[in-house]
Structure 1
């Protein structure tokens, strides 16, 4: 492999040459780079120079050090993005995580619904009516976090915050299991995820003797996807105390379930050391790519600057539609009905599964159940044979044990008993090793 490299050079030049070979495909994912001393001898440089070049490649997310196994080329992050899932004919889809369309507001525009349009490219600021709705709702939650800013969805806000705060190669604490697009985003930003386990009180804190410290932590306060767990008041207090001792760690709070939650909002951080993100997708429409974010003014200012050089602003027409729909669901009782319906479906399946399998699932909320299994492959195959498409837990997991995710938003009441019976069989199928 040494013949691939040009002779001599500084650490920066060596890293650039190897990086170019990785991007051209001369070096493929899984290939091993030569040992440091071997390459140093071939290039006629000090071994420290090669070690520094490898460190730059690691920080850029192009390679990973596998201990005695050597330094290995990584897969490009965007290749890990999954294609659109196709549901095989004859299977009931419990994998996609879609919402119940009957519990989303219908957008109907009458002759009086004429949204003023900007006539130029000098749009400034966010729509005051939307920010006022967000501020009022947060105040009702007992959260005083300052004026919200508008971004193009929760993932967009999280990406901008990480771009502004975290340098490539840095580590970020994440819940384990967690939302797969978040892991894809971290790979894209060349950030290293550090897993934190989930229990009935929400995300656990890092171990006191953790070898690596995260420059940020991403936490779900309610209805964590996929487990459905929420942060308890006690756990949130522990996080606030921990973060007070870690001034360089940014806490990003992804309250994606937001107004659909029946649990109180326990914040793990304050406005001075955190960013709170509220997505409008789950209770208004998944296609309405809008999120509100509150946090430290310097961070929000940096995020707005990033927004200005990219999309520049979030469509005011979309923001006006969001105001109309949010006001609508508050007035017609749909929001309350959605809260109660989703919770009842989850509780009913958990109760039936517990009666059949003797498994006591922790109290949670949201549209998902995270079911530990012996073998993800065996459980998924058995469920498919019985007419159900479930989501294997592998894309969600870092170090947590095997499981499958069941999405219940569109499960019919008459199907629930049969589903519980089939899950009781699938969860114990296969071997103990996944």
Structure 2
């Protein structure tokens, strides 16, 4: 919509706007105002302060605000009229907005990928990364990245290394401690890709059932009878159940493992997007816990970012498993990731993205509840949806152009009950569309629901 066609509302309060701006750089101002516009807190037609007025209130140069306004103008979020000043425009339609919806076949309901419109921009991060020190050989992790991740690490780490994404990090960790034919204790249900990694590596699984607090201590004790060389579990935003392991459960699991000399591999796949605190068995089991954190969901797949930290002996085994070659991680991309982890404006964007993901997850959970289906909205980018029969439900949904994940792929063996894994990260922000999806899922699953 052109600026001249948009009815102008009252100007935004200068003090109100200043109180919601974090980092006082051009990028920080643009990121904060962009979030306010996209969240609807500053509606279309709102008149923004003049460059000089906002610069004076923020104690920055007018050039800083002019550059921020230029970035917002390039994004199609603001326009400038001859007499009305700078006006907020209708946000451009994104892939996950209601206006851009063109069928469920265009929405990721299966894999749990992040919404591209909620990823932070990479321009400044990459620009910061190019200034990294060039080395003749290669160091596993840059000094900047190690310094950026260390304050948020859930356990003291003797050593660190890097992997090309979360899947690669878990693969390296598992292959570093388990050989073909070995057994690992693995929470169940779990992420399908994790089971695929172990199968391709010819590593056997002793399943450990979960409840709403994580792996069950009694189930872990039973799995130890299979003499596993490692225990692998997700610490928070677990795929597919969505739980985060609380400190009390950590203590119970540590008690089960205290007299068994096996390695623990902890997977933190959601990383900085998770709202639950990061926890670890490392304090109770020193020298035995390798923590693997992926940043791909938060920052996008392009940075190929995953950090592993823990005992020096375990990290060294991962490094030997990794070796030089295709798995080598660019130092430029590592320092770009370090920039994003320490940048205040990016932190604010991640906070808003986390809120948006939560809203979408809760919206579908509530819509399913209205149809008589209980799919708790815990955390993450998917819901675990109970159904009477998996194959029949998947086929019925596919006939409507809807592709979701089958719960059976989350189990090493035959599951005792049927579920779907429905990704929520790219759901449209339109309640009517979400309600339609819930009704179609309910009908495909044989539920009548409250609306028939």
Q: TM-score, normalised by structure 1?
A: 0.71
Which residue in 2 is equivalent to 1:225? 239
Q: Within the alignment, does 1:352 sit opposite 2:364 as a pair? A: no
The equivalences for 1:12-411 within 5 A come to: 91-93=105-107, 94-109=109-124, 113=128, 115-116=130-131, 121-138=136-153, 143-205=155-217, 206=219, 208-210=221-223, 211-247=225-261, 249-270=262-283, 271-311=286-326, 313-328=328-343, 330-331=345-346, 333-357=348-372, 359-398=373-412, 399-400=414-415, 401-411=417-427
Which residue in 1 is equivalent to 2:34? none
Kindly state the Cα deviation for residue 351 of structure 1 after the two structures are TM-superposed: 1.8
Note closer, same or farther for the CA distance 1:345–1:114 as it changes in structure 2 (3 Å cut).
Answer: closer
Kindly state the Cα deviation for residue 393 of structure 1 after the two structures are TM-superposed: 2.0
Kindly state the Cα deviation for residue 243 of structure 1 after the two structures are TM-superposed: 1.7
**Structure 1 gaps, min length 5:** 1-87, 430-434
Distance 1:343 1:111 in 2: 29
**Structure 2 gaps, min length 5:** 1-101, 448-452
Which residue in 1 is equivalent to 2:445? 427
Distance 2:104 2:364 in 1: 22
Q: Is the 8 A contact 2:113 2:297 kept in 1?
A: no
Kindly provide the CA deviation profile for residues 48-71 of structure 1, in whole angstroms up to 9, marking residues without a partner as x.
xxxxxxxxxxxxxxxxxxxxxxxx
Distance 1:101 1:340 in 2: 15
Distance 1:149 1:418 in 2: 45
SS at match of 1:413: coil
Distance 2:298 2:131 in 1: 25
Distance 1:166 1:111 in 2: 36
Kindly state the Cα deviation for residue 149 of structure 1 after the two structures are TM-superposed: 2.1
Distance 1:161 1:406 in 2: 28
SS at match of 1:369: strand
Count of residue pairs the alignment pairs up:
338
SS at match of 2:301: coil
Which residue in 2 is equivalent to 1:30? none
Distance 1:390 1:114 in 2: 37
Distance 2:173 2:209 in 1: 23
Aligned-CA RMSD value: 2.7
Distance 2:129 2:376 in 1: 47
Note closer, same or farther for the CA distance 1:389–1:306 as it changes in structure 2 (3 Å cut).
Answer: closer
Distance 2:272 2:208 in 1: 26
Distance 2:392 2:116 in 1: 31
SS at match of 1:167: coil
Kindly state the Cα deviation for residue 261 of structure 1 after the two structures are TM-superposed: 1.0
Q: Name the stretch that deviates more: 252-261 or 329-338.
A: 329-338
Q: Is the 8 A contact 2:160 2:309 kept in 1?
A: yes
Q: Is the 8 A contact 2:189 2:240 kept in 1?
A: yes
Note closer, same or farther for the CA distance 1:302–1:334 as it changes in structure 2 (3 Å cut).
Answer: same
Q: Is the 8 A contact 1:200 1:362 kept in 2?
A: no
Note closer, same or farther for the CA distance 1:309–1:112 as it changes in structure 2 (3 Å cut).
Answer: closer
Kindly state the Cα deviation for residue 282 of structure 1 after the two structures are TM-superposed: 1.0
Note closer, same or farther for the CA distance 1:336–1:195 as it changes in structure 2 (3 Å cut).
Answer: same
Distance 1:114 1:197 in 2: 42
Q: Is the 8 A contact 1:329 1:335 kept in 2?
A: no
Note closer, same or farther for the CA distance 1:104–1:111 as it changes in structure 2 (3 Å cut).
Answer: closer
Q: Is the 8 A contact 1:105 1:328 kept in 2?
A: no
Q: Is the 8 A contact 1:149 1:294 kept in 2?
A: yes
Kindly state the Cα deviation for residue 113 of structure 1 after the two structures are TM-superposed: 4.8
SS at match of 1:389: coil
Distance 1:90 1:369 in 2: 17
Distance 2:208 2:397 in 1: 29
Kindly provide the CA deviation profile for residues 76-110 of structure 1, in whole angstroms up to 9, marking residues without a partner as x.
xxxxxxxxxxxx98624311322111211112259
Kindly provide the CA deviation profile for residues 84-143 of structure 1, in whole angstroms up to 9, marking residues without a partner as x.
xxxx986243113221112111122599657146666423352111111100222xxx54
Q: Is the 8 A contact 2:265 2:292 kept in 1?
A: yes
Q: Is the 8 A contact 2:365 2:375 kept in 1?
A: yes
Note closer, same or farther for the CA distance 1:266–1:427 as it changes in structure 2 (3 Å cut).
Answer: farther
Distance 2:357 2:129 in 1: 34
